[in-house]
């Protein structure tokens, strides 16, 4: 069973706001899912290499040059900023 | 025959023989959506103006006597996690409710080059997380064959739109069964391509080592047409590759089909099992060699998947932070509160659960016990498949152990919803291609047959599917 303290800690790492009521619900649901996942402990994984991708993935190199993007696309992306100043993304201060 | 009953090939013939115009075809479908979607709720957005303009362009081509590609003027629907330039793309999430796509996904670019007519964007479980389309932040989609039941998920809107004849075909995405399972529940055809066969550029990322885009269609021939239109290497997705496999002189007598015994154990609906066994028998009667095989790590694939999937999801969804695009909370004291509140108000229950689960599995002290262990189990699952594919050409299994369930039946218990994916997730962990085709009905509820192939042997499983369809 995962603790309330752990739920709060994980939510903070994920930058996910949770209400007090939801913390308890999340604790119950995550515990149930994690109990099910315990099943993996039955498998002997000594001397087994991990798989991150199903197909062989290799690093693909290219020269470090900027690709020109349509000015129109650039404008559309900037328009989506919640807050913008002179074409730059504006964020709230780190300290209140 | 009504225009909304056509397959892609039939509609294409009709267009080039000028039996009807692309505009007529498009208007017929838009009309059908207006009437039928009031009870199905497959579409989140219908873009009439764009669809009509695209259709008009194809008519001009035809009138000018030019040759048109097979998909030109064919009305389709796109899952709402695939970007179509200047059309809203929500991923069925509040956090992207007002997000308008600034560019086209590669698959959309490819379809546009063929002269596609896009009717609209279809409903899904929020960020494709779910197996019933009930996790949509906007509304659940209904199964056209029984309105009290779910259409499956997460591509439930796409599958329902095809089944209700609201489009000729649709695109979906499949991370753990999200094309195959709704296709099965709605009685249509769905293809999950090999990992890398289709570019993921412009698909809203969920679990990047598992996601693939694929077609949902009325028959296998149509699935092949759409798949061939969207496949191929793309410089914008470094995991994409060109298909290498071509099929020659396909004879059913040469075909060895494996039936994994682990897929027919306790938990499967006996009615589903009966129909799958009947389909296997049919292949045997037609001359295929049927062999029982074993995939010993099958029962560990689902728990491994539910570590790997949320882990990748939690990393991918970190981008919805309220500062770059999407929902951003207005009243916040500082940056931290922007993050916390935007995610709290923007994400639904299942998305939060996966972010929490993934963050937990990746966090210090738990990484080895969960994430690394799951990746090692993934290797064992992969080895199982590699071994059986030395003996057989394809595997046949059910798509889902259950018939389409009732709306509300599983949504309160997340784990019971996860168990719906038990026959589909292995295929994503291993990156294999798999086809879902209807193989019969229990009452009015359809059952889907899953045909699994070797990597990049889509053509072979499509041929195997066609044989069953014709028999």
Convert the pLDDT of each residue in B52-64 to its tens digit. 999 999 999 999 9
- Beta-carbon separation of B382 and A54 below 8 A: yes
Q: Which residue of A has its CA nearest to B86?
A: A76
Q: CA of A96 to nearest chain B CA: how many angstroms apart? A: 5
Comparing A92 with B289, the larger pLDDT belongs to: B289
> Measured between beta carbons, which residues in chain B are less than 8 angstroms from residue A41?
373
- Residue A60 has a pLDDT of 80
What pairing do the DSSP bridges indicate for beta strands B434-442 and B189-192? antiparallel
**Quick check: A45 contacting B, CB < 8 Å?**
yes
**The domain spanning residue B129 has which CATH number?**
3.90.1300.10
List the CATH code of the domain at A4-41. 1.10.20
Give the count of beta carbons closer than 10 Å to the beta carbon of residue B94: 17
**Quick check: A56 contacting B, CB < 8 Å?**
no
The answer to whether the peptide bond before residue B184 is cis (omega within 30 degrees of 0) is no
- Residue B32 has a pLDDT of 98
- Beta-carbon separation of A92 and B429 below 8 A: no
Q: Which are the contacts of B145, defined by CB distance < 8 A and separation ≥ 6?
A: B163, B186, B187, B404, B444, B445, B446
Question: CB-based burial of residue B105 (10 Å sphere; 0-12 exposed, 13-18 middle, 19+ buried)?
Answer: buried
Q: Which residue of A has its CA nearest to B351?
A: A16
Question: CB-based burial of residue B364 (10 Å sphere; 0-12 exposed, 13-18 middle, 19+ buried)?
Answer: exposed
* A89, two tokens: 């993304």
In chain B, count of helices (H) and strands (E)? Answer: 15, 11
* B308, two tokens: 């790997």
Q: Which are the contacts of B177, defined by CB distance < 8 A and separation ≥ 6?
A: B131, B192, B399, B400, B420, B421, B423, B424, B425, B427, B428
- Beta-carbon separation of B304 and A40 below 8 A: yes
Report the number of distinct structural domains present in chain B.
1
Give the count of beta carbons closer than 10 Å to the beta carbon of residue A23: 14
**Quick check: A50 contacting B, CB < 8 Å?**
yes
CB nearest to A73's CB, from B102, B322, B347: B102
Domain spans in chain A, listed from the N-terminal domain onward = 4-41
Q: Which of the residues B178, B314, B342, B400 is marked catalytic?
A: B178
Tell me the C-alpha distance between B197 and B456, whole Å. Answer: 7
List per-block mean pLDDT (blocks of 10 residues) for chain B, which spans 471 residues: 93 97 98 98 97 98 96 98 97 97 97 98 98 98 98 98 98 98 98 97 98 98 97 94 80 96 93 98 97 97 97 98 95 93 97 98 93 97 98 98 97 92 97 98 98 96 96 85
> Measured between beta carbons, which residues in chain A are less than 8 angstroms from residue B103?
73
- Beta-carbon separation of A17 and B341 below 8 A: yes
Question: Please, are residues B195 and A54 in contact by the beta-carbon 8 Å criterion?
Answer: yes
Tell me the C-alpha distance between B123 and B42, whole Å. Answer: 6
* B240, two tokens: 């994409």
- Beta-carbon separation of A49 and B339 below 8 A: no
Tens digits of residue pLDDT in A3-62: 999 999 999 999 999 999 999 999 999 999 999 999 999 999 999 999 998 877 778 888
Handedness of CA B454, B455, B460, B464 (dihedral sign): positive
What is the three-class DSSP state of B214?
A: strand
Tell me the C-alpha distance between A49 and B303, whole Å. Answer: 18
> Measured between beta carbons, which residues in chain B are less than 8 angstroms from residue A51?
375-376, 378-379, 382, 429
Interface probe, candidates A47, A51, A89, chain B, greatest B C-beta count within 10 A: A51
- Residue B436 has a pLDDT of 98
Portion 355-414 of B in contact with A at CB < 8 A: 355-357, 359-360, 363, 370, 372-380, 382, 414
Query: Is B178 noted as a catalytic residue in this protein?
Result: yes
- Beta-carbon separation of B360 and A30 below 8 A: yes
Q: Which residue of B has its CA nearest to A77?
A: B102
Domain of B109 in residue numbering reads as: 1-471
Scanning B99-219, the segments in alpha helix (DSSP H) are 106-114, 156-163, 180-186
Element (H, E) at B314: helix B298-316
Tell me the C-alpha distance between B411 and B221, whole Å. Answer: 35
- Residue A62 has a pLDDT of 83
Query: Is B154 noted as a catalytic residue in this protein?
Result: yes
- Beta-carbon separation of A17 and B340 below 8 A: yes
Closest CA to B378 of B455, B456, B294, B303: B303
Q: Which of the residues B21, B93, B132, B154 is marked catalytic?
A: B154
- Residue B446 has a pLDDT of 98
* B32, two tokens: 């059908």
- Beta-carbon separation of A13 and B352 below 8 A: no
- Residue A96 has a pLDDT of 62
- Beta-carbon separation of A26 and B356 below 8 A: yes
Q: CA of B385 to nearest chain A CA: how many angstroms apart? A: 12
């Amino acid at each position: 069973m995962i603790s309330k303290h752990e739920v709060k800690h994980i939510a903070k790492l994920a930058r996910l706001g949770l209400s007090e009521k939801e913390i308890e619900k999340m604790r119950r649901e995550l515990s149930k899912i994690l109990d099910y996942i315990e099943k993996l402990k039955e498998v002997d994984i000594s001397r087994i290499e991990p798989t991150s991708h199903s197909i062989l993935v290799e690093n693909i190199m290219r020269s470090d040059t900027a690709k020109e993007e349509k000015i129109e696309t650039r404008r559309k992306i900037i328009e989506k900023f919640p807050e913008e100043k002179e074409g730059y993304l504006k964020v709230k201060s780190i300290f209140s | 025959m009504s225009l909304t009953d056509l397959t892609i090939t039939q509609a294409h013939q009709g267009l080039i023989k000028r039996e009807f115009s692309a505009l007529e075809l498009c208007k017929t479908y838009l009309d059908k959506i207006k009437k039928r979607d009031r009870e199905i709720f497959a579409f989140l957005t219908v873009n009439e103006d764009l669809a009509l303009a695209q259709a008009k362009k194809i008519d001009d081509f035809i009138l000018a006597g030019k040759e048109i590609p097979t998909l030109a003027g064919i009305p389709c629907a796109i899952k709402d996690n695939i970007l179509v330039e200047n059309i809203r793309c929500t991923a069925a999430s509040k956090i992207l409710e007002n997000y308008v796509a600034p560019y086209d996904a590669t698959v959309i670019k490819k379809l546009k080059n063929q002269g596609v007519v896009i009717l609209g964007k279809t409903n899904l479980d929020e960020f494709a997380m779910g197996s019933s389309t009930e996790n949509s932040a906007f509304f659940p989609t209904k199964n056209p064959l029984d309105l009290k039941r779910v259409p499956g998920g997460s591509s439930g809107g796409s599958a329902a739109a095809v089944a209700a004849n609201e489009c000729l075909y649709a695109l979906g995405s499949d991370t753990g069964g999200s094309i195959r399972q709704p296709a099965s529940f709605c009685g249509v055809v769905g293809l999950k391509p090999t990992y890398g066969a289709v570019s993921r550029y412009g698909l809203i990322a969920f679990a990047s080592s598992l996601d693939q885009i694929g077609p949902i269609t009325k028959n296998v021939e149509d699935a092949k047409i759409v798949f061939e239109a969207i496949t191929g290497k793309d410089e914008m997705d470094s995991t994409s590759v060109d298909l290498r496999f071509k099929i020659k002189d396909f004879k059913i007598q040469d075909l060895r089909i494996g039936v994994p015994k682990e897929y027919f154990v306790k938990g499967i609906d006996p009615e589903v099992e009966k129909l799958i066994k009947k389909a296997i028998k049919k292949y045997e009667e037609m001359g295929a060699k049927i062999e029982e095989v074993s995939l010993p790590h099958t029962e560990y694939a689902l728990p491994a998947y539910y570590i790997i999937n949320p882990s990748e999801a939690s990393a991918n969804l970190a981008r919805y932070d309220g500062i770059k695009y999407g929902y951003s909370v207005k009243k916040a004291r500082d940056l931290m509160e922007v993050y916390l509140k935007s995610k709290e108000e923007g994400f639904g229950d299942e998305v939060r659960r996966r972010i929490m689960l993934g963050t937990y599995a990746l966090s210090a002290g738990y990484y080895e016990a969960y994430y690394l262990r799951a990746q090692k189990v993934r290797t064992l699952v992969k080895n199982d498949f590699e071994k059986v594919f030395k003996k057989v050409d394809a595997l046949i299994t059910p798509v889902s152990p259950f018939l389409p369930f009732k709306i509300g039946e599983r949504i309160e218990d997340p784990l019971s919803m996860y168990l719906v994916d038990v026959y589909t997730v292995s295929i994503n962990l291993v990156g294999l291609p798999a086809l879902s085709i209807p193989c019969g009905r229990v009452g009015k509820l359809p059952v889907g047959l899953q045909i699994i192939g070797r990597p990049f042997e889509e053509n072979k499983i499509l041929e195997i599917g066609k044989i069953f369809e014709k028999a």
